[in-house]
Amino acid sequence: MKKCAACLKDYPQDTLFCPYDGSRLTDLNENEPYINTILDNKYRIDFKVAEGGMGNVYRATHLHLGIPVAVKIMHTDLLSDINSIERFRREAQATMQIRHTNAIAVLDFGVTNNNTVYLVMEFLEGCTLRRRLREVARFSISDTNWIIQQVCTGVHAAHKRNIIHRDLKPDNIFLQREAGEEIVKVLDFGIAKLKNQIEEQDRMLTRQGMVVGTPHYMSPEQCYGKEVDVRSDIYSLGVIIYELLAGVPPFDADTPIALAMKQATEAPRPIYEINPDIPIDINSIIMHALEKNPDKRPQTVMSLAQELENASNRIYVYMGRSIDSKQIDIEILSVDTPAINNILSNEAYPTPQSFSLQHLPKPNNQSFNKPDQNNQLSKINTNELPNIDLLVNQLPDIVQTMMKDLSGNISELDKTKQKTNKKTTKTYPVNCEICGQEVGRSLVENSTIICPDCRRNSRKMQQAEL
């Protein structure tokens, strides 16, 4: 019999692929000495589910509790390496300190009488983010935000305990299926650094100048073999966000050394050049996380998470309509009016929160007519109501223009007022980032956007490359 490591279904020996998820079936139990054995008088090893550099992962059953668990058994050829055993133990130590919903839970660690080193974790059903990325090619902004928010929460829990992961990548992020829903889990703290707590041990395990991590996701300071802190994990998260939205990582090369050089010295290509559906503000957030200088990145993972959350949920108000960030550049170019930026606050784009009560003028202190005690209707005196025209006139000019464009009814008196009391609003050209052509006007200086022609050309080039 063969078993699918993803869905855990059994198939005949002559079956090559899982008919449900397309995974290649392998006889994971072939030549496996631990299958159907009892480990440390507590765990019955059922079958192998994954292989790793430090050890193999098996699905096992806790004999006393009757629950499924994942047991990671260290490779026998590493048992003579004291540093490898220490890293294995440190994975258990680091993960057990975190205890968070978005980090895999470690339940036990031990060494048997015959020197079998093992680590017991909660058993997860689902797939890695790497596998999901292969299936969908790219993620939407909302799905990316949903995943990254949970990853950042789990990593933040580690950072609060002075634990730096140092190997964040889609392979170490798991999408667990539980009760019909998915929960994101951060895996593999095998090379995590417990800062302050075991720095002396870390210096012994990681020699000065030794590169630790996966080249596609390593920060520049990792590539140089320098001291790292939480901002190194933030850089790795920026690479992951880039890959989820673009379908490819920001850097690639034929050799790990060449890739590390690019990671440390080259600027990443703007993501909207690869995926034209990504707005400029999302690209800015990613580039912020991918700064070469750690001081220029977000200083905490939750700061990065908040930036992405705000950009993903931002609602743009234009001509009285709400449009999301994917539509903003198209919508602005579809009408012959200036782009609305910086209306009532210093925000890059106006949001409904910009129109708060604090911006409304206070009512005038005018004398009111005394209501007629004999007439009930006179209790509602229209003189007590604020002057609507006065309120509108005190709003910013650009808001008044929006209101008039929406109404479509400008009276002759209003037209006369416009001629006599016309206020000029200075606008600036909006140029295309790619071709440089002027495509509109804006209240904000040095505004840029991608014109529809360049978007179409970008899509054609991308399709031609495929």
Q: Where along the chain do its domains lie?
A: 32-123, 127-313
Rg (CA), the chain: 30
For 127-313, the fitting CATH number among 3.30.530.20, 3.40.50.12280, 1.10.510.10, 1.10.10.410 is 1.10.510.10
For the domain made up of 32-123, the CATH class stated in words is alpha beta
The secondary element (H helix, E strand) that includes residue 47 is strand 43-51
The secondary element (H helix, E strand) that includes residue 370 is none
Cα–Cα distance for residue pair 400/422, rounded to 1 Å: 12
Q: What is the pLDDT along the chain (466 residues), one digit of tens a residue?
A: 566 766 666 677 667 677 666 666 666 555 678 888 999 999 999 988 887 777 889 999 999 999 999 999 988 877 777 777 777 777 777 778 888 999 988 888 888 888 888 989 999 999 999 999 999 999 999 999 999 999 999 999 999 988 888 889 999 999 998 888 899 999 887 555 544 444 444 444 444 344 456 889 999 999 888 888 999 999 999 999 999 999 999 999 988 889 999 999 999 999 999 999 899 889 999 999 999 999 999 999 999 999 999 988 764 443 344 344 444 444 343 333 333 333 333 344 333 333 344 444 444 444 444 445 555 544 555 555 556 666 666 666 656 665 665 555 445 555 555 555 555 567 778 788 778 888 777 766 777 777 777 877 777 776 676 6
What token pair was written down for 130? 């790497």
Q: Which residues are catalytic?
A: 167
The secondary element (H helix, E strand) that includes residue 59 is strand 55-62
> Going by C-beta distance under 8 Å and a sequence separation of 6 or more, which residues neighbour residue 342?
348, 350, 443, 444
Of 389, 397, 399, 388, nearest to 354 by C-alpha is 399
**SS3 label, residue 412:** helix
Place of tokens 């997860």: 124
Cα–Cα distance for residue pair 165/186, rounded to 1 Å: 9
Q: Is the pTM for the entire model greater than 0.95?
A: no
Q: Do domains 32-123 and 127-313 have the same CATH topology?
A: no
Cα–Cα distance for residue pair 64/58, rounded to 1 Å: 18
What token pair was written down for 313? 């949920």
